[in-house]
Amino acid sequence: MEMWFSDIHTDGVKLSIRIEEQLFSSQSQVQRIDVLESRDFGKILVVDGDLMLTERDEFIYHEMITHVPMAVHPDVKEVLVMGGGDGGVVRELIKYDTIEQIDVVEPDPLLVEVCRKYIPEIANSLTDSRVNIYHEDGLRFIRSKGDAYDLIIIDSPNPFGAGEGLFTKEFYGNCYNALHEDGIMINQNESPFYTEEAFQCQRMHKRILETFPICRVYQAHIPSYPSGHWLFGFASKKYHPLNDLDKVGWKLRGIHTRYYEPRLHAGVFALPVYVEALLRDVENIE
Amino acid sequence: MERSKQTRAPIYEALENFRRNRVVPFDVPGHKHGRGNPELVQLLGERCVSIDVNSMKPLDNLCHPVSVIKEAEELAADAFGADHAFLMVGGTTSAVQSMILSCCKKGDKIIMPRNVHRSAINALVLCGAKPIYVNPDVDQKLGIALGMKREDVIRAMEQNPDAVAVLVNNPTYYGICSDLRAIVKAAHDKGMLVLADEAHGTHFYFGKDLPVSAMAAGADIASVSMHKSGGSLTQSSFLLTGKGVHPGHIRQIINLTQTTSGSYLLLSSLDISRRNLALRGEESFRAVTALAEYARDEINKIGDYYAFGREMINGDSIYDFDPTKLSIHTLDIGLAGIEVYDILRDEYDIQIEFGDLGNILAYLSIGDRIREVERLVTALADLKRRYKKDKTGMLSQEYIAPKVVMTPQDSFYAAKESLPLEETAGRVCSEFVMCYPPGIPVLAPGEEITDEIINYIVYAKEKGCSMTGPEDERIQRLNVLKNCEVKEYGNVVF
Ligand SMILES: Cc1ncc(COP(=O)(O)O)c(C=O)c1O
Asked if residue B39 belongs to a domain, the reply is: yes
Same domain, B87 and B151: yes
CATH of the domain at B365: 3.90.1150.10
- Taking CB atoms and an 8 Å limit, are A140 and B348 in contact across chains? no
**Residue A186 and residue A181: Cα distance in Å, rounded?**
15
pLDDT, residue B491, reads: 45
Same domain, B89 and B222: yes
**What 3-state class would DSSP assign to B448?**
strand
Which candidate from A143, A162, A169 shows the least CB-CB separation from B347? Answer: A169
In sequence order, what are the residues at sequence separation of 6 or more whose Cβ sits closer than 8 angstroms to the Cβ of residue B473?
Answer: none
Asked if residue B399 belongs to a domain, the reply is: no
Same domain, B323 and B441: no
Asked if residue B327 belongs to a domain, the reply is: yes
Count up the domains in chain B and report the number: 4
Same domain, B256 and B143: yes
Same domain, B37 and B154: no
- Taking CB atoms and an 8 Å limit, are B348 and A169 in contact across chains? yes
Asked if residue B136 belongs to a domain, the reply is: yes
Residue-number span of the structural domain to which B33 is assigned? 7-59
Pocket perturbation via mutation, ligand 1, pick of B88, B89, B93, B198 by most ligand atoms within 8 A of CB: B93
- Under 8 Å between Cβ of B265 and B62: no
Asked if residue B487 belongs to a domain, the reply is: no
Question: Average pLDDT of A203-224?
Answer: 95
Same domain, B223 and B137: yes
Residues 382-411 (B) with a CB less than 8 A from some CB of A: 382-383, 385-386
CA distance B370 to chain A (A): 9
Q: What is the mean pLDDT of chain A?
A: 95
Q: What is the pTM of this model?
A: 0.89
B371 — contact with chain A (CB < 8 Å)? yes
pLDDT, residue B486, reads: 57
CATH of the domain at B104: 3.40.640.10
| Domains contained in chain A, CATH given | 4-54 (2.30.140.10), 58-283 (3.40.50.150)
Q: What share of chain B in percent tops pLDDT 70?
A: 98
Q: What share of chain A in percent tops pLDDT 90?
A: 91
Whether the CA torsion B453, B456, B462, B464 is positive or negative: it is: negative
Q: Could you say which of B387, B420, B449 is where a domain stops?
A: B387
Looking at this protein, which amino acid is placed at residue B376?
Answer: L
**Residue B68 and residue B80: Cα distance in Å, rounded?**
18
Same domain, B17 and B87: no
Same domain, B88 and B158: yes
pLDDT, residue B488, reads: 55
ipTM: 0.84
Asked if residue B380 belongs to a domain, the reply is: yes
**What 3-state class would DSSP assign to B288?**
helix
For chain B, residues with pLDDT lower than 70 are: 484-494
Asked if residue B398 belongs to a domain, the reply is: no
- Taking CB atoms and an 8 Å limit, are B371 and A162 in contact across chains? yes
Same domain, B45 and B134: no
- Size of chain A in residues: 286
Same domain, B330 and B462: no
Residue B355's closest CA among B401, B289, B319, B305?
B305
pLDDT, residue A126, reads: 97
Same domain, B232 and B365: no
Same domain, B255 and B197: yes
Asked if residue B11 belongs to a domain, the reply is: yes
Q: What is the largest distance, in Å, between two alpha-carbon atoms of chain A?
A: 57
pLDDT, residue B1, reads: 86
Q: Could you say which of B42, B59, B76 is where a domain stops?
A: B59
In sequence order, what are the residues at sequence separation of 6 or more whose Cβ sits closer than 8 angstroms to the Cβ of residue B289?
Answer: B207, B209, B210, B323, B324
pLDDT greater than 80 at residue A210: yes
The answer, yes or no, to whether the previous bond of B58 is cis (omega within 30 of 0) is no
Q: Could you say which of B252, B277, B302 is where a domain stops?
A: B277
**Residue B76 and residue B82: Cα distance in Å, rounded?**
8
